[in-house]
Structure 1
Amino acid sequence: MRISYQYKIKPNKEQIEKIDNTLDMLRCQYNHLLSQRFDWYEMNRCAIDRCGLICHLPDLKEQPNYYNQKASLTRLKVERPWYKNIHSQVLQEVPSKVEITFDRWLKGDCNGKRSGKPRFKAKGQYKTFTYPQFKKHKFNNNKITLSKIGDVKVIVHRQIPDGFDIKTVSVTRKADGYYVTLSLDDKTVPTIKPDFNADNIVGIDIGLIDFYVASDGTRITAPKYLRKAERKLKAAQRKVSRRKKGSNRRRKAIQKLAIQHKKVADTRKDFHFKTVKTLLDKYDVVAVEKLNIKGLARTHLSKSINDAGWGQFRNILSNKAENAGLKVIAVNPNGTSQDCSNCGHKVKKPLSQRMHNCPVCHTGLCRDLNAAINIKNRGTHGLKAQLMSSKKSH
């Protein structure tokens, strides 16, 4: 099982300078390797898609890839000796990032979805570097030893669980300081907890008025952190707009604006974690709708959907359930609000109608509660099908 723990670090002035220099040098190398890819692509692409039976095809230039770009790092340290101040494995992560970014643009990811054209990183936009190998004894007594940087003080707000090994360490610069993210691994953690009860299931219908309505009747009001902070964000953004570009006053105003945005994001994330804990402490199985959140975020409700953070909540719920040996079942969302949870009759109603009244069985209840019960029923059927298939496979 893989989990991540993030801690805030307190580097001294010399260490801050080293971290910032490392990030800036990695940014320059990232842009250089990306430009090599673009040059090769432009020199070898051709607008002609057909030709005669006899024609001359020019020899293609050597295509930049992860391996030859990684090999060029040895020559880089000779031509630019200051790159020796960066750990070799940290520097080798840059060609890997370029490879992934460029392939997602041309080929797409594992699902075939292609990303937009990669962009060069401007100053301050390269914010993370990673040590792909890390020994556990280098993190001890509230200090972490980072190669080429030194011993850095760590604010350990929670201890690493017993039995976990540190696989990778990432250093990130954020608006309010510097952080390290430890990727932990423990293969002995069971996938399903011993006293797992498949009948202890709940369905939740996420929304914008209520963050979610559960099939047991409980509901949590949407906190709307972004809406509440809009006034402060607007004032901070106005200060940025009034400052002269390139000035120190503008840089400080941007810093304050970034801190405000981070505060909203952190508060929302904390709310998601606490909400997930409440659900998983009470239930062994949680059924949710398999919504196309990216598609919904392109509608007129995009601001409210992003403020609610449905995607982040669903990811946290899935990860925490997996770590606890519990289950999250994603069900088909079609008709959950229209179908009657008692008799199954389809009752068409607009989004503005918040009550469900069935003309067949005369069931009357909240529209969201009706949807949550339907989600629970579909989740129960889906879980039974999964358990049956797993038994047959064994």
Structure 2
Amino acid sequence: MKYAYKTEIKPTNEQARKIRRSIGICRWLYNEYLEVNKRLYQMYRRGLLDSNQPYFMTANDFDKYVNNKLKTKPKYAWINKCASKARKKILMNAESAFRSFFAGNTAFPSFKKKMDEDIKLYFPKNNPTDWLIERHRIKIPTLKYVRLKEYGYLPTGAKIINGTVSQTAGRFYVSVTVEETISNYKSSYGGIGIAVKINSLDKLDEEKFPRLAVWQKRLQRARQKLSRKYSADNISGYCNKEKQRLKVKKLQQKIEWIKKDYLDKCVAEIMKQQPQYITIENLDIKSMALDKDMKKITAKQKYYDFKNRLLLKCAKYDIELKQADKLDEEKIIFVELI
């Protein structure tokens, strides 16, 4: 089976500069591809294109245009400083976004912004020496060996198919797809039921979640400082605003880590029971979101995240996961979401 691992890396100054530069190039290519297809789509809707003229450029055609025409110009020579597979992958993602829009599944694709930090560098395993995992470092194509922030988290000697490198709130992360074989799972209990409780955002139990309450207060104060207006002519004021925005991102990321760690611990406690099957209480989140008072509460809950994590664990150990409006099992575990 295939599994994904994500951990933080500690690149050198030169490696960090290469990652930022490659992410910037991929973002620019993504936006250029969107701009070209947006212009063609508008011309097609206005009837300015003939039947022989295409109204959509594929990722392969745009990649050929970049390699054969755009990169040959001296002012665009910096495109070569990014790996070709990473450039091709970001264009394929942009094409999938357009095709999803044409199918009516999503809205019109939007441009990538620098502050969103949602660009990931894709690196496949082309050579046997690529993506070698050791205890304290990992070998990434074009970046060579990069130190890991957490030792022993990635499985050493595992077969990696591909991986991505990303940046969030000033930190760098690596995500790898690994093929693993799972040992046989032996269940020693019948079935258990899981009752899910959605916690109110206004009435967070600070005694039960002390860390989360502290970081939420810090985030609230940081957002208040960020909302203050800075003079556009004052350079120091602009720099302070960028520093404060980075601080808000770090606090948001810290809160997400606390919530995900809590969900992982809840799933681990459930799997310690070694059940034959699991029945989870079915919550109608969509109906809850229709209520104005519950919409804000359900928007930030991790119900679907918890459900997906439990589903992956059940698929890993071949455990049946069922949903029911009412739990009839003898043993019921209560899970409080935050």
- Normalising by structure 1, report the TM-score: 0.70
Secondary structure of 1:124's partner? helix
Q: How does 1:88-237 map to 2 (within 5 A)?
A: 88-108=84-104, 114-125=105-116, 126-133=118-125, 135=128, 138-161=132-155, 164-186=158-180, 188-189=181-182, 193=184, 195-196=186-187, 200-209=190-199, 223=209, 229-237=215-223
Q: Distance in 1 between matches of 2:185 and 2:220?
A: 51
Aligned match of 1:265 = 256
Aligned match of 2:335 = none
- CA distance 1:278–1:131, shift in 2 (3 Å): same
- CA distance 1:103–1:176, shift in 2 (3 Å): same
Secondary structure of 1:257's partner? helix
Identity of paired residues, percent?
21
The residue type equivalent to 1:103 in the other structure is R
Aligned match of 1:383 = none
1:1-52 CA distances to partner (integer Å, 9 max, x unpaired)? 12111121111222211111111111110000011111121111259xxxxx
1:203-233 CA distances to partner (integer Å, 9 max, x unpaired)? 11212249xxxxxxxxxx9859766644322
- Structure 1: runs of 5 or more not aligned: 48-56, 109-113, 211-220, 337-371, 378-394
Q: Distance in 2 between matches of 1:309 and 1:42?
A: 39
1:238-280 CA distances to partner (integer Å, 9 max, x unpaired)? 1112252681100100111111111111000000000001001
Q: Distance in 1 between matches of 2:185 and 2:135?
A: 35
Give the structure with higher Rg (CA).
1
Q: Distance in 1 between matches of 2:41 and 2:30?
A: 17
- Structure 2: runs of 5 or more not aligned: 201-206, 333-338
- CA distance 1:319–1:120, shift in 2 (3 Å): same
The residue type equivalent to 1:177 in the other structure is R
Aligned match of 2:316 = 323
Secondary structure of 1:117's partner? coil
Q: Which has the higher contact order (CA 8 A, sep 6+)?
A: 2
The residue type equivalent to 1:268 in the other structure is K
Aligned positions, number: 311
Aligned match of 1:238 = 224
Q: In terms of mean alpha carbon deviation, does 72-81 or 252-261 score higher?
A: 72-81
How far did residue 127 of structure 1 move? 3.3
Aligned match of 1:301 = 294
